Amino acid sequence: MHLKIMEWNAQDFFLQLEYPVSKSDIDSMTDEQWKLLARTDVHLKPLAKIKMIADIITEVSPDVVCFCEVGGHESLEMFARLFLLDRYEAFLVEGNSNRGIESGFLVKRGLGLKTKIKSHRNWPVPFEYPHEKDPVTHKLAAEAAAYYDLGHPKTRKLSRDVPALFLGKPGQTALVILLVHLKSGFDTAGVDPEGKIRRAAELEALLAIHASVQNHVGPSVPIILTGDFNGRAGRYETGPEFAPLLTSGFEDVLHLKEVPPYERISQLTFVRSQIIAKQLDFIFIPEILHGRVREAYVYRYRFPEDQTEITLPSSFRDRARLPSDHYPLVCELEIDV
């Protein structure tokens, strides 16, 4: 069968309401009215942006949506029910995020596939920061670390989770999707420049989780790794923390389809007047699926009036008008069911 997968960091996708609403309520509601429905201490995703995300999903019609930065199962279920007319079923298990941004799936109803989710939030990620190995050389970091709860090196876990989505017929798994959201480049404690130490440790944990799941489902079942890798994980200017990934048999679907590097950009940020454009979002597939990619592309946002493509943003102000600070990644595969 053909399976279309969309990966998308939806950026602070919180839909936690204090009061119940219906589809008809939302259709006639303004953004200001929507804000008033927020639960205490919850900053709702703007209504206009939620509608844009729903419209894009409706347009692309993926079979599976792999979402990062979702405000829990409640947000995902409400989105599917009110904005996607209940055409998708929500799968999400709470992870370890201290911001409440979780990773979850929407699976189109009527696929004829049995679906289940498994969390790996308690998977161990033991590692040491530089100041823990050498507190003398990294004296300032060691002093700063005292004001943060960094946990014990041997008992650290994933920043968020690596949920596994199992798809197939009863008693037979046809495909597994591991959804990741690795450590970002933010380092508020000043102990891990650009987050590379933790990100490398989480990448190692991801590969260990993959090996565990592969052992469980058997060597013939393909496993996909997708999500926001928060770094240069592909073959274009590869970050050193991702080197183990590129020797493990996985390949970026955009690379397989020979998509030009500038068309792979999935996130832009800005430092003063400098634009930093990166591909942070990936769908990595195992060798067994390399010849089964029908299409793969990064979806570009469009103006609703005439559907012309919106130019990539050149400032934070421009980016804030988009539904997310990331662009969705789409891939269609042939899988055996």
Which pLDDT belongs to residue 168?
A: 96
Collect the ranges in the chain with pLDDT lower than 70: none
- For residue 57, how many C-alpha atoms fall within 13 Å in the half-sphere facing its CB? 29
In a domain, 141, yes or no: no
Nearest to 147 by CA among 190, 97, 184, 195: 190
Amino acid at 28: S
Nearest to 269 by CA among 280, 260, 254, 261: 280
Is there a contact between 126 and 155 (Cβ–Cβ < 8 Å)? yes
Residue 64: φ, ψ to 5°: -135, 130
In a domain, 118, yes or no: yes
Angle among Cα 183, 241, 204 to the nearest 5 degrees reads 75
Angle among Cα 195, 50, 182 to the nearest 5 degrees reads 15
Domain count of the fold of the chain: 1
Which pLDDT belongs to residue 145?
A: 85
How many Å apart are CA 155 and CA 315, to the nearest integer?
A: 40
Which pLDDT belongs to residue 81?
A: 95
In a domain, 149, yes or no: no
pTM score: 0.95
Tell me the CATH number at 32: 3.60.10.10
> What is the domain range of residue 301?
2-123+158-334
In a domain, 151, yes or no: no
Is there a contact between 99 and 43 (Cβ–Cβ < 8 Å)? no
In a domain, 12, yes or no: yes
Residue whose tokens read 């007047």: 273
305-309: long-range contacts at Cβ-Cβ below 8 A with a sequence spacing of 24 or more?
none
Cβ neighbours for 166, distance < 8 A, ≥ 6 positions apart: 114, 115, 116, 117, 118, 173, 175, 176, 217
Which pLDDT belongs to residue 305?
A: 79
Is there a contact between 230 and 199 (Cβ–Cβ < 8 Å)? yes
Nearest to 85 by CA among 71, 106, 105, 100: 106
Is there a contact between 109 and 63 (Cβ–Cβ < 8 Å)? no
Amino acid at 287: E
Is there a contact between 176 and 213 (Cβ–Cβ < 8 Å)? yes
Residue whose tokens read 């600070």: 325
Buried b (16+ CB within 10 A) or exposed e, 171-198: eebbbbbbbbbbbeeebebebbeebbbb
Residue whose tokens read 């274009």: 236
